[in-house]
Structures are given as C-alpha cells and as structure tokens.
Chain A
C-alpha cells in the first residue's frame, strides 16, 4: 500500500492524450487504457518523481477548492489504483 510520503513517477512507456476534459492514458505494453477526469488528470500531471503524495493532495485540494480530508483519501486510493494498473510507479517508498 502507498503512504503519504511516497513519491511516484509515470511509467516510461505510457502515452497520454488530453481529450475534452479527460486525459486518456494508454499502456501500450498491456494493450490497455485508462480515462481520467479532471482531478485524476491533475494527479497524473503532478506526479513528477519529486512530489510526495501528500504534496500532490494538498495542491489538488487548493486548486479544486475541495475538502482536504476527502482529497487526501481519494488521492491515495486513486494513486494506488494507477500503480496497480501500471501507469505509475513508486520510486521512493518512504515508510
């Protein structure tokens, strides 16, 4: 499971494309894709191999003027799901 201090990076092979308000993330090696809404897209954009998930959640809560506790919960769960799908990878696992 991911934690707040984890740092993620995008899987090098993924290809992304903005389409309307959505972000299409294609995983060529798996022949699969994920479609993200605006919040999910922002999360993927903010994943840069440097920011922690806590910092990303904080940024999203500010930008979307959303409840911090809810955003934190959503970010952790959603990041975990993208790691499991192979779109993101944990590069620094801080316990």
Chain B
C-alpha cells in the first residue's frame, strides 16, 4: 500500500518520494527533520514493488552506479533503478524482499545526482565543526574518517561519511546529511579546510599538489565520478572549491592531538 509521499531535502536539494508504506515509513521516521526548503523544487522519486524480479542477492548498496550522460543506473538482482538528471526524476523497482535500507541507498544516489545538477557536491568525507569552522576530513575507505570523527569529541560531527558541499555568497558551505553517524545537531558550517587523512605514527600537516588534491577529491565524489561525461564538470566543480579552500594531507594517529596541529597551523 502506498502512503502519502515524503520529502527529503538538504541545502538546495529536495526529493519527493512515493512508494509502499513498508519501505517509506521507517525512512520518514528516521529523516523526519530533513525537510527541503520551501522554495526548492523537488525531484520526483517513485519506488515500486515488483515481484517478477529475481530475489535480491545482497543489499542494493553493493550495486555500483553506472552513469552515462546524466542518467545513473543501479542494476542488481532484485533491483532496477534509474535517476535521470534531465527528467528530474528517479524510479526504483524492487523485489518485495528488498528493505527500507535499500530504498534509502537509492535515495542517496538520487540526492547525489540532484545535488550536482543544482550546483553542489555530495562528498565522501567526515565533517567536523571545530571552533566554528568546518573541516572536511576525507580519504578512501579505511583512511580513518570515522576514527578521526570519534577523536574530535566534543566537536559536532555533521556526518562521519557523507557531506553535502553547497555554494553560497559567503563561500562553500558544509552541510550535514542523515546517511552516516552524527554527533550534535549542527546542520551547516562554513567550509574552512579540506584535510586528506593519512594514518601515521606522527601528527603533521603536509601540502598537497593541486593535481593530487584534484584527483583525490574527484575520486571521493560518489556516483558522479563514475560518469565519463560528468567527470569534466566534477573536476571543474572541485577546482572552484579549491580556489577558495586550502587542502592538506593530515597525518594523524589514534588520538585527538591532530586538532592541536590543525589549530596551530590553520586555526
């Protein structure tokens, strides 16, 4: 049974989601406070059960988005999904054995596409609001985002895995997302620095070459970086961020001392 749609929004994004109650009710409850701004035009996302599909062999999260020319496709046993930036819409057909977590992942992909189409970037990074400034701690899986976020207490963690960067007149803003672990309820802070995490026994900041920074940032841009047609725009978007935001490699160990180094050199 379908229920009334619910809307999910962060910064200038908005998704209006239609679908079966069993999948949407848990998401609506978990994301109740993530409502779009009134002036934002939502993209329409439709979720439908399809018992004719093969049963899922794993979570939709395991399916790598395939993107081509603004259309992202998620195909896996039990799932057929597309997000079309040109149509401002997404559709997911899922086997009845799928879960609300699978639907949540599809919405995350849709949000990544919409955010980029509207001028922002969903970013694989942990966001910490430290002394009123936003630090995005990024790196590939295993680089220590969650660990660094844990050692940032009592600072607010906007998210330990996915942030939304959004342009504003006063500079790039770092927005929290509901897709990972958070601490505190800071939803937005001005982006101060980008810090590429490097596990080390010593704690220090090292410069990054422009090319290395650009490559690292592009490869930490979920969904969009898989599209060769979008990729030039992804690189250009990051160049605009780098034009006004310093980026460093942050060598850190499993303790909070890296903030002393950050404060001394960047604070």
Binding site for B on A (CB under 8 A): 13-15, 17, 19-20, 22-24, 26, 28-29, 31-36
- A13 lies within 8 A of B228 (CB): yes
- A35 lies within 8 A of B232 (CB): no
- A26 lies within 8 A of B209 (CB): no
**In the complex, chain B residues 35-84 whose Cβ is within 8 Å of any chain A Cβ:** none
Please tell me if B186 contacts chain A, counting CB pairs below 8 Å. Answer: no
Of B226, B227, B228, B235, the contact of A24 (CB 8 Å cutoff): B235
- A23 lies within 8 A of B218 (CB): no
Main secondary structure, interface of B, reads helix
Of A22, A26, A34, A35, the contact of B235 (CB 8 Å cutoff): A26
Residues of B within 8 A of A31 (CB): 219, 225-226
A15 to B228, CA, bound (A): 7
A69 to B215, CA, bound (A): 31
- B210 lies within 8 A of A33 (CB): no
- A26 lies within 8 A of B211 (CB): no
B114-133 Cβ-contact flags toward A at 8 Å (1 or 0): 00000000000000000000
Of A20, A22, A28, A35, the contact of B231 (CB 8 Å cutoff): A28
A33 to B234, CA, bound (A): 13
Considering only CB atoms, which chain A residue lies closest to B66 in the complex? A29
- A33 lies within 8 A of B209 (CB): no
